[in-house]
Amino acid sequence: MKLFTPPLINSLKIYRCKTLPCLSYLHQRKYSNFLPGKTVRIGCASGFWGDTSVSAPKLIYGGQIDYLVFDYLAEVTMSLLIGARHKNSEMGYAPDFITVAMAPFIKDIKGKGIKVVSNAGGVNPHGCAAALRKVCESAGIPLNIAVITGDDLMPKLKTLQDDGIVDMQSGKLFPKPVVSMNAYIGAGPIARALDLGADVVITGRCVDSAVVLGPLVHSFDWKWTDFNNLAAGSLAGHLVECGAQVTGGIFTDWDKVPDWDNIGFPIVECASDGTFVVTKPAGTGGLVTRGTVSEQLVYEIGDPEHYMLPDVCCDFSQVQLEEVDTSDGAAVYVSGAKGHPPTGEFKVCTIYPDGFRATAVACVGGVNAKAKAEKTAQEILKRCRRIFSQLNVDDFKNVNLEVIGSEHIYGPKSRVPQGVRDALLWLAVHHKDKKALEFFAKEIAPAGTGMAPGLTNIIGGRPRVNPVLKLFSFLYPRNNVQIDIHLNGEHVEQYQFPDIPMAEYMTQNVTPPSKTVEESLPKGEYSFRLEELAYTRSGDKGNSANIGVVARHPDIVPYLRQALTPEAVESYFSHLFENEHLPTHQKVQRYDVPGVWGINFVLQDVLGGGGIASLRSDPQGKAMGQMLLDFEIQNVPNLVEKIEEKYRR
């Protein structure tokens, strides 16, 4: 791989600007009443592979950070990296980490004494480290580069397939064949690599929060039985692991967030007692408030009292948030995380092939665009099926038709009339035979001359046929996983797991679904959209969606609980559930997060397979929280007065 310094990225060294204020003084002044003793500052410059290239220099030159961390890996990302390594055996890692994040700034990272931790290694951490060593050699910068391996369980594939393992959610049998199999390792090996003198730590698959917890364990010499501190460090990692999502990105009140173009990426300043402040570099855009932090806290956590990680079982239900009074109003103090012993098992993410997919996206304009788009799609499918039948080819395994612009994702709750005058046709299909989808791909363009009028553009041209990669997850004893630490290309040691008490693994419904006694609430003549009373944030875990709801005032929470029952949420999203015959408690679990005035919902089997296996336009449920904002809270007092009183104070 050719290594280079992109001219644009190189120009971002303007963040060296000597006119920046003395940040160390500012931080002492801001946080002295909150954080006792020595603190460690960790900045996160990436929430996914493909995040903005302007984040790292802001943190390096304007963040006064001790550690710079990058989180690149999602379940979808692992699938992409596997494909990249199949094409080129030297790849399989996130190349942006080398060319964009490290190469342009390598001298200043070294000069400022900033240590770097990243899971950019993907499915080829040694390849990632080799590429970084070339950068260091070219720049004449000596860095101790550590590599953590052991998450790749493919050498154990045959044994595991013969063990009768089933998926931890669906109960399906172990798939054949398998493309990759990686355990979510924890922060222990990262901390140990830093103990051994690493300047940069590169891992493969690890839990996202581990890139922050590892440096904190190393810096404060936390013991692996200090479960409250481990939970707090994990929470710090959870809040910043998605980058700008905690500094105003995708915030419910998006219109109140300034300067998206210059949004600041997050910094956590942590104390040895586990308390910390979430902030961002001075002079950057974005927002750090109780709202932005609470939204990210409830993001993709499932049961907030039992958030399972390799190093600790976290209880985030009573976490407290307090806005710090600063000149730019961009800091939130976080406390109250609790921890319990972890389980003796790692979650393992297995990727397996399941046929092929193709997605056609086309613009349709003019009168009755929705009806024309639907009719066009149906006729294309009808033509394909007729040819398949003649050739003795099986039917599509799955089809998803959406007319974007007609509020298709809202199902029966769409407010858009049939007569919409421009729309986007989304037609995605799944088939076991690649050639069948190649025929489908050729039959999209002919619709422009032989079917409904107004098909104006096929976005991206003829649909590409891609393999479908699905997720299979299971639990595996951690003591059966050998984790090795390498430093500067040499094996240093095999990581020894700490001898600590272990808990039994718990999957779902650990916390009783409704522990709070429902109050008898006064009624009123007002009705509100949920957006007027709460923030929301949604995401995915495999084929399940998580929707967090956070009240804008604590007195509003009982009314939210009264209205947003599991039954009400199931009904609202009824058109998205794959198995409509299951009872509500198997479809929707509701958990309380009283510390942040929140409620967390987990909706099972609602994403059409999830990730790149899903044929939907929202395969990860990112829009579901936004959809819920239109939910009506009816016959209540004037709850908005509570919010207004809060801000008047």
CA 645 to mean position of chain CA atoms: 34
Check residue 21 and give its pLDDT: 33
Of 299, 287, 280, 298, which Cα lies nearest the Cα of 255? 287
Beta partners for 332? 278, 323
For the chain, percent of residues with pLDDT exceeding 70: 91
Average pLDDT over residues 308-319: 97
Residue 604 contacts residue 623 (beta carbons within 8 Å) = no
Of 217, 196, 212, which Cα lies nearest the Cα of 491? 196
Check residue 330 and give its pLDDT: 85
Indicate if the pLDDT at residue 509 is higher than 50. no
Q: What is the pLDDT of residues 558-585, one digit of tens each?
A: 999 999 999 999 999 999 998 878 888 8
What are the phi and psi torsion angles at 204 (to 5°)? -90, -130
Q: Encoding tokens for residue 623?
A: 């829009």
The mean pLDDT of the chain is 90
What is the dihedral sign for C-alpha 582, 585, 590, 591? negative
In DSSP notation, 467-499 reads EEEEEEEEEEEGGG---EEEETTEEEEEPPPP-
Beta partners for 362? 425, 458
Indicate the residue type of 43: G
Q: What is the pLDDT of residues 403-438, one digit of tens each?
A: 999 988 888 888 887 778 999 999 999 999 999 999
Is 436 buried (19+), middle (13-18) or exposed (0-12) by CB count in 10 A? Answer: buried
Check residue 83 and give its pLDDT: 81
Indicate if the pLDDT at residue 23 is higher than 80. no
Q: What is the pLDDT of residues 26-61, one digit of tens each?
A: 344 456 667 878 899 999 999 999 999 999 999 999
Q: What is the pLDDT of residues 93-141, one digit of tens each?
A: 999 999 999 999 999 999 999 999 999 999 999 999 999 999 999 999 9
Check residue 647 and give its pLDDT: 58
Indicate if the pLDDT at residue 144 is higher than 60. yes
In DSSP notation, 317-368 reads TT-EEEE---SS---EEEE--EEE--BSEEEEEEEEEEEEEEEEEEEEESTT
Q: Encoding tokens for residue 13?
A: 């060294």
Q: What is the pLDDT of residues 527-564, one digit of tens each?
A: 999 999 999 999 998 899 999 999 999 999 999 999 99
Check residue 327 and give its pLDDT: 62
Residue 114 contacts residue 66 (beta carbons within 8 Å) = yes
What is the distance between the alpha carbons of residues 213 and 501, in angstroms, rounded to a whole number? 19
Indicate if the pLDDT at residue 514 is higher than 80. no
Q: How confident is the model at residue 171 (pLDDT cuts 50, 70, 90)?
A: confident
Indicate if the pLDDT at residue 439 is higher than 50. yes
Residue 621 contacts residue 506 (beta carbons within 8 Å) = no
- The reported pTM is 0.91
CB atoms within 10 A of CB 580: 10
Q: What is the pLDDT of residues 342-384, one digit of tens each?
A: 998 999 999 999 999 999 999 999 999 999 999 999 999 999 9
Check residue 518 and give its pLDDT: 66
Dihedral angle over CA of 248, 253, 256, 262, nearest 10: 30
Q: What is the pLDDT of residues 227-284, one digit of tens each?
A: 999 999 999 999 999 999 999 999 999 999 999 999 999 999 999 999 999 999 999 9
Indicate if the pLDDT at residue 402 is higher than 60. yes
The CATH class given to the 349-470 domain equals alpha beta
What is the dihedral sign for C-alpha 602, 605, 607, 613? positive
For the chain, percent of residues with pLDDT exceeding 90: 78
CB atoms within 10 A of CB 636: 20
Is 419 buried (19+), middle (13-18) or exposed (0-12) by CB count in 10 A? Answer: exposed
Residue 453 contacts residue 365 (beta carbons within 8 Å) = no
Q: Encoding tokens for residue 112?
A: 């400022």
Is 112 buried (19+), middle (13-18) or exposed (0-12) by CB count in 10 A? Answer: middle
Indicate the residue type of 596: V
Check residue 12 and give its pLDDT: 44
Domain boundary assignment for the chain: 7-150+185-343, 349-470, 526-648
Q: How confident is the model at residue 646 (pLDDT cuts 50, 70, 90)?
A: low
Alpha helix stretches (DSSP H) within 66-124: 75-87, 95-96, 106-111
Indicate the residue type of 109: I
SS3 144: coil
Average pLDDT over residues 146-151: 98
- Unique residue bearing structure tokens 């612009």: 405
Check residue 273 and give its pLDDT: 96
Residue 183 contacts residue 126 (beta carbons within 8 Å) = no
Indicate if the pLDDT at residue 191 is higher than 50. yes
Contacts of 537 (CB under 8 A, 6+ apart): 250, 252, 295, 296, 298, 299, 547, 548, 550, 625
Query: Peptide bond preceding 177: is omega within 30 degrees of 0, i.e. cis?
Result: yes
Of 86, 9, 5, which Cα lies nearest the Cα of 45? 9
Check residue 515 and give its pLDDT: 54
Burial 269-304 (b: 16+ CB within 10 A, else e): bbbbebbbbbbbbbbbbbbbbbbbbbbbbbbbbbbb
Check residue 25 and give its pLDDT: 33
